[in-house]
Structure 1
């Protein structure tokens, strides 16, 4: 994106939307505003309010949304908002428009995240700059997407990996699956690997051990683990092992020699515990391919605004292509 072109960016979550301005791939941190979704009928109203207050007429606009996107249009998974190019054009007056899944936006941000916002959890082997990478989001929901570099272009295919079926490898995992399936028909990966998924694992541990201390929040469970609670530790170990297993499965599918990048609030909270609570065992549980898994470095992303950066980077490439 030319340094003279101003873009408006939005990252729509299930509860809040962040909006910002950018010039090129650089997001103006001072321009970031947060909107409560429940106070607005849609993204168009949010952008109208933001731009009228900022008194800016952007030439480009990109929105990242928490839901499936097809042909630059989608509806949020947990919010009755529609997002498409027509809505963005009416709200912003911009000519260059893009709609991304929020995980796609995170993928476009890779390579533009400050070193202080990246934590190396596990070393791998050196790879070429063109090597594939994999971004995995674990928060309110779960999703994953490969990130490919083709010369000077970035390709992040859309994905809904969180709704795939969970692979089971042990008797206790089968019992956990059966427990969750009693309340959730067709339970997928997201039913286990998410904030609510962690709480379900805790409830299952309590049922297994005959405890009535159910229905704790994820924060309460983590606090109990820090205080030495054995049940909480078992829940964290199960979650970490499943997370390692799923990350390993996705790594074998996409071969991200350029690295695996974990994002999302839940991934961030589990970061200090993953290596000591079974993540690596789950990740390497691939039989004769266990040593093969050692090639993939694993990073934790702690940048709150990575999706906005990804939107800016995507617009930059789009404008360079059409220049």
Structure 2
């Protein structure tokens, strides 16, 4: 397979377990080029990208952008759950691209807004009409937890990074206090991510087992399966508690950022919970802000069900950098 040189961009989404790489024509991901690589098979990102380039017949991209599950500072990224460090020099060397960029994975999700097929967006809570350039908020719930506000300015889109998942968990009642103490005993600090993530759901399940003097462990996928088919009462209780805390945290973040343009939940756990959020009390917890309860109705909430949104966002970010509006 061959591709013309200096026509396409290379984009990658680097998770803790797998890296997905693809070519993009402007903002459009070329679906047949999407490839997934197990990170454990490679010593670092450079070798992953070199493999992809070889698999695509030696393609010579004009630009490259990678989305990283970890903090990015001064063009250098450190993975949260993987012993890789990534910088622009490495990215340029690996791809031969003239323009390179590194984003936090939530930043990439933010850049994807407006470029996702509406059929891949599930509405959870209605909101009020807003201006096209109103602020938005992307909240990632998956292996970890994070959030990124999205601002559309005259100069272009800005998606600011954060590490919201490492802030303290909110506490509203005695059960949530005991949950925080349970998480603190195991991990030393009751962070949002310790509950609102895939492994966090497993901790909620274990906590409820201790509360019932019937300790059992269960994998996140099995908890969701037990919740979906109704066979595991503890799985349902864990999902309800998880959902209420997710609604509280999302509501808090919304008051901080005022995303009149919408709140968008992304990530594997968010997608798994999407059918259950309404029934398990997400909306009530989201709006439970005292005299600001009515004000919370300004913020629509949706779940993005496009698993490749970070690739689309990386491509859109490169379009902003290069000025290439090809789609």
TM-score, normalised on structure 1? 0.96
Q: How big is the shift at 1:283?
A: 0.4
Asked whether the 8 Å contact 2:181–2:190 carries over to 1, the reply is no
User: In the alignment, is residue 305 of structure 1 matched against residue 305 of structure 2?
Assistant: no
Q: Which residue of 2 aligns with 1:166?
A: 169
**Distance in 2 between the 1:130 and 1:21 partners?**
28
Q: Which residue of 1 aligns with 2:99?
A: 96
Q: Which residue of 2 aligns with 1:192?
A: 195
Asked whether the 8 Å contact 2:135–2:259 carries over to 1, the reply is yes
Question: For 1:119-160, what per-residue CA distance to the aligned partner results, in whole angstroms no more than 9, with x for missing partners?
Answer: 111110010011000000000100001000002611001111
Q: How big is the shift at 1:93?
A: 1.0
TM-score, normalised on structure 2? 0.95
Residue among 21, 33, 54 paired with 1:31: 33
Q: Which residue of 2 aligns with 1:155?
A: 158
**Distance in 1 between the 2:280 and 2:26 partners?**
41
Q: How big is the shift at 1:229?
A: 3.1
User: In the alignment, is residue 127 of structure 1 matched against residue 135 of structure 2?
Assistant: no
Q: Which residue of 2 aligns with 1:247?
A: 250
1:11 aligned counterpart, secondary structure:
strand
1:198 aligned counterpart, secondary structure:
helix
Number of aligned residues? 317
Q: Which residue of 2 aligns with 1:61?
A: 64
Q: Which residue of 1 aligns with 2:15?
A: 13
Q: Larger deviation: 195-204 or 151-160?
A: 151-160
Asked whether the 8 Å contact 2:230–2:236 carries over to 1, the reply is no
**Distance in 2 between the 1:173 and 1:80 partners?**
33
Q: Which residue of 2 aligns with 1:82?
A: 85
Q: How big is the shift at 1:167?
A: 1.3
**Distance in 2 between the 1:60 and 1:80 partners?**
25
**Distance in 1 between the 2:71 and 2:294 partners?**
35
Structure 1 regions of 5+ residues with no counterpart? none
Q: Which residue of 1 aligns with 2:3?
A: none
**Distance in 1 between the 2:230 and 2:273 partners?**
16
Asked whether the 8 Å contact 1:5–1:24 carries over to 2, the reply is no
The ranges of structure 1 where at least 4 consecutive aligned residues each deviate by more than 3 angstroms after the TM superposition are: none
**Distance in 2 between the 1:128 and 1:77 partners?**
36
Asked whether the 8 Å contact 2:183–2:189 carries over to 1, the reply is no
Structure 2 regions of 5+ residues with no counterpart? 1-5
2:37 aligned counterpart, secondary structure:
strand
Q: Which residue of 2 aligns with 1:204?
A: 207
Question: For 1:220-255, what per-residue CA distance to the aligned partner results, in whole angstroms no more than 9, with x for missing partners?
Answer: 222323234332222111100000000000000000
Asked whether the 8 Å contact 2:204–2:238 carries over to 1, the reply is yes
User: In the alignment, is residue 181 of structure 1 matched against residue 181 of structure 2?
Assistant: no
Question: For 1:193-220, what per-residue CA distance to the aligned partner results, in whole angstroms no more than 9, with x for missing partners?
Answer: 00110110011111111113x1111122
**Distance in 2 between the 1:232 and 1:65 partners?**
31
For the aligned residues, what is the CA RMSD? Answer: 1.2
Q: How big is the shift at 1:6?
A: 1.4
